[in-house]
Structures are given as C-alpha cells and as structure tokens.
Amino acid sequence: MASTVFMSDGEHLLGPYEDAIWVTVILHKEIGPIDGDEHIMQYVVDQIKAHNVITGACSLSSKEAGCISIALPLNRVSGHYLGLLEHAEAIANWWLEQIRKSTIQLDRRHIFLCHTLFLGL
C-alpha cells in the first residue's frame, strides 16, 4: 500500500487501494509552501472540477514533489472519464473537510520538497 500526502498525528495515512486509478493535480506556481492546507486542498478540488488532472496507475505524488494524488479504487470507478473525475472530486472534498476539522494535515515537506530545499525551509 502506498503512503499518501495526508497525515494524522504525524503519521502518514496509507492509501487503501492496491488496484487504483490515481488522479493527480500539479500544484503550479500559484500554490506554494506558504499556502495553508485548506487553501491547497481547495485548489486541488477546483483543478479536478476544471479537469486539470493527470490520471494513471500510480501516484505521482509518491515520486515527485509539487503535486497531490488521490486514489480511486478500480472496483468503484466508472470506466467513463467524467465519472472518474466526479468520484475524485468527492474524495478530494472529503479530504478538504478533514483538513477543516483538523483531523488530518498535508505532508508539506513531501509535497514541497523541491521548494523547501530551494527556500531553505
């Protein structure tokens, strides 16, 4: 199971699906390490709504800094691309709500690794 960019009490939350489609949002220049978790996750939701995503069989966020990937279990997603994005949006909104409740936080060091090394954070 892959770890995600979401953390609770300093521990990484594991991705629950081995067979998944991953929806990845690239955090372009408008999002950076000084932005709050809620703002970042709202950006992810907005990018999914706008279909500005990369889909694939693996989590890009586990390999590259500057993105957030969300797992969609293969047995639950429709074969239709829009159904896939609707499901991703629902999951992203759930993560956003968890951030608002302060039950989870983003692993900022992992997400912004390149930025933090550059900025010396």
**Residue 28, beta-bridge partner list:** none
Eight-state DSSP code of residue 19:
S
pLDDT single digits (tens) 28-48 = 888 888 899 999 999 999 999
Q: What is the amino acid identity at position 70?
A: I
Given strand 54-56, what is the order of strands in its sheet?
Answer: 54-56, 20-26, 67-73
**How wide is the angle at C-alpha 18 spanned by C-alphas 58 and 92, nearest 5°?**
65
Which pLDDT does position 116 carry in this prediction? 42
Q: Tell me the pLDDT band of 3, cut-offs 50, 70 and 90.
A: low
pLDDT single digits (tens) 60-106 = 776 777 889 888 887 766 566 668 899 999 999 999 999 999 999 99
How many Å apart are CA 80 and CA 32, to the nearest integer?
32
